[in-house]
Chains A and B, each alone.
Chain A
Amino acid sequence: MLAAIDLFFLVSTMVKIVFFVMVVVMTLVAYTVYAERRFSAIIQDRVGPNRVGIPFTKISLAGLGQPIADGLKFLLKEDFTPKHVNTFYYWLAPALTMVPALMSAAVVPFGSEMAIPFGDEIYRVPLVIADINVGPVFVFAITSLSVYGIVIAGWSSNSKYSFFGGVRSSSQMISYEICMGLSIIPVIMILGELNLTKIVEAQSANGWLLLPAWGNGLSMQSWLLLIPVIISFVIFTISIFAETNRLPFDLPECETELVAGYHTEYSSMKFALFFLGEYAAMIIGSGIIVTLFLGGWSLPFGLSEHLLANKGGFWGIITPLIHFGCFMSKVVAFLLFFIWVRWSIPRFRYDQLMRLGWVFFFEIALANIVLTAIIMVVLR
């Protein structure tokens, strides 16, 4: 029985979980909040947090200590539970928003396969936590669970603002889930693959979907397919905005109408968990956009293929690290885009949001599938 357990697999998976989810995503969450504050500040001709640096010194490092100070503040604040709430669900809700966001990180490939020489054996570690064959489907299944956290928070808070926030969130999620799912069907049709690792490998060899400039990508078909790919890219990105409750679709927590929406009654670390969940979802969302449309960890212009061709001990470790850096820089660029959009575009009205989801994107995504199929059949 014991022999059946692959100890190396277990350990390497644990290390990957701790490294990617705990270290990378969590740190990135903290620093996305910081980036959000600094970026919004420079957009609005302000300065932003630039004071907190190394404690007890006057070194401010342009405010890079701010996220740590914020986290500490959240931990030290009074954890207040109002009398009128349903305590069990009130405590459950923050975890329910945060867990799905982190869980969907499991299928995102963040680097190419690592080959670690150990003794005379070479251990191969794919840099993805769970290399499963249902990548995007798994992501949709898990991320749509996060709506439960929001709805339960809104309902258990027993306050009209929270309740409205929860209700809005659920209807928003339902209307955007559909066009989000439909919008990536063209991608799956073109690549013929549901495994995210293989999707990235195919794009690494034959050109990213949005930049087919090398390998087999230099064909008439790929360039014509750019039209449906761009359409599905736009729809998918906008749906991710709606899915993560980011402005311009942050109706569940719009400050002007609903105080703070579903987390009105929350304080201290429970509030921070909602915050963490929102930003983690944003990071994973950008990770998935990058994986599907921008070639995941691969370097542009087939450079990854050259790197992967280098076999031998030393390269087996360096190459995945370079690819990891490439993936992270793409994700960070996307996060900055998220922030940029948030501070440029005003919030949609509720009926506009519904109209956009059901009347426009749903139909466009459907037509897009047909268009892709036609192009693929005609130019086979």
Chain B
Amino acid sequence: MAIVVNRPKLSFLENLYFPGIIKGLIITIKHAFKSLRGETHVTMQYPEEKWDAHLPDYYRGAPTLVKDEHERERCVSCQLCEFICPPRAITITPGEIPKDDKWGKVEKAPKAFEIDMIRCIYCGLCEEVCPEQAIYLRKDYAITGTSRAEMVHDKEKLYEIGGVRTGLVNKWNELK
């Protein structure tokens, strides 16, 4: 069944069309002046303005390695992160810590630790799976480079971004 929608009855002024046009022009110029006075929220001007201060605590940025309060590498090269990583971005070459070292009982530390930031999907599974709490997703998001090689973060770079995190895992301390 056809539904009849009646056309609205226009008044004389509306039929003249000009008042409508002028009303529209006033609306647009109001917006223009508001923008000029800076009262409108416009797009953030990215490189100059950044949203960094508003990033939430759970923000997942670049994955990094962290050291503990004794400047010891937390990573023990268990390779769990390498195995769980969905895009296989992590490559670990395990190495041994000599027996007479201060941290000899830790037994292993990575000889090389590489995260390919082109592959990384920032899922955070590495952080979740790490038994030593050695890998963390920091708030860095602008990871750029001019070549593929530059986009692979090696151990040095990872520690540089990661820094130190104190008092999370205490099982390797002297007292235990």
Seen from chain A, the residues whose Cβ lies within 8 Å of a Cβ on chain B are: 39, 41-47, 50, 340-341, 343-345
Q: List 16 A-B contacts (CB under 8 A).
A: A39-B32, A42-B32, A43-B35, A45-B40, A45-B41, A45-B42, A46-B43, A50-B45, A340-B28, A343-B28, A344-B24, A344-B25, A344-B27, A344-B28, A345-B24, A345-B25
* Cross-chain contact of B31 among A44, A47, A341 (Cβ < 8 A): A44
| Interface contact B42-A340, CB-CB below 8 Å | no
- Report the contact-size class of chain B (Cβ under 8 Å from the partner): 10 to 19
Query: What does the 1/0 interface line of B24-58 toward A look like (CB < 8 Å)?
Result: 11011101101110001111010000000000000
Q: Are B45 and A345 in contact (CB under 8 A)?
A: no
User: Per a CB cutoff under 8 Å, which of B24, B27, B43 touches A47?
Assistant: B43
Is B21 in the interface zone, CB < 8 Å from A?
yes
**B residues neighboring A (CB under 8 Å):** 21, 24-25, 27-29, 31-32, 34-36, 40-43, 45
With beta carbons under 8 angstroms apart, the residue of B24, B29, B35 that contacts A45 is B35
In whole angstroms, how far apart are the Cα atoms of A46 and B35 in the complex? 8
| Residue ID in chain B nearest A342 by CB atoms | B28
| Contact of A42 with B35 at beta-carbon distance under 8 Å, contacts A343-B28, A344-B28 already known | yes
Residues of A within 8 A of B40 (CB): 45
> How many pairs of residues, A versus B, come closer than 8 Å at their CB atoms?
38
CB distance from A66 to the nearest CB of B (A): 16
User: B42 touches which one: A46, A344, A345 (CB < 8 A)?
Assistant: A46
Residue of A nearest to B44 (CB): A47
Query: Considering the chains assembled together, what is the distance between the CA atoms of A329 and B91 in angstroms?
Result: 66
Q: How many angstroms between the C-alpha atoms of A50 and B42 in the bound complex?
A: 13
Give the chain A neighbours of B25 by CB distance below 8 A. 340-341, 344-345
Which label, helix, strand, loop or mixed, suits the secondary structure of the A interface? loop
- Which chain A residue lies CB-closest to B26? A344
Can you add 13 more A-B contacts, CB < 8 Å, to A45-B41, A47-B45, A341-B25? A42-B35, A43-B31, A43-B32, A44-B31, A45-B31, A45-B34, A45-B40, A45-B42, A46-B42, A340-B25, A340-B32, A344-B28, A345-B21
Contacts of B43 in A (CB 8 A): 46-47
Question: Once bound together, how far apart are the Cα atoms of A45 and B31, in whole Å?
Answer: 7
Answer whether A340 and B24 are a contact pair too, CB < 8 Å, given A42-B36, A45-B35, A46-B43.
Answer: no
* A344–B41 CA distance with the chains assembled, in angstroms: 20
Expressed in whole angstroms, the minimum distance between the Cβ of A97 and any Cβ of chain B is 28
Return the chain A residue nearest B25 by Cβ: A344
Partner of B28, one of A43, A46, A50: A43
Given the known A-B contacts A42-B36, A345-B21, are A47 and B42 also in contact in the complex, defined by CB atoms under 8 Å?
A: yes
Minimum Cβ distance to chain B for residue A242 (Å): 15
A340: chain B residues within 8 A (beta carbon) = 25, 28-29, 32
Question: Shortest CB–CB separation between residue B45 and chain A, in angstroms?
Answer: 7
| Residue in chain B with minimal CB distance to A50 | B45
Minimum Cβ distance to chain A for residue B44 (Å): 10
Residue of A nearest to B29 (CB): A340
List, in ascending order, chain A residues with CB within 8 A of B27's CB: 344
CA distance A133 to B35 in the complex (A): 46
**Chain B hits for A341, CB < 8 A:** 25
Contacts of A344 in B (CB 8 A): 21, 24-25, 27-28
Q: In angstroms, how far is the closest chain B Cβ from the Cβ of A341?
A: 7
Query: In the complex, A354→B21 CA distance in Å?
Result: 19
Expressed in whole angstroms, the Cα–Cα distance for A42 and B27 within the complex equals: 12
Closest A residue to B33 by beta carbon equals A42
Residues of B within 8 A of A45 (CB): 31, 34-35, 40-42
What residues of chain A lie closer than 8 Å to B36, measured between beta carbons?
A: 42
Closest to A352 in B: B17
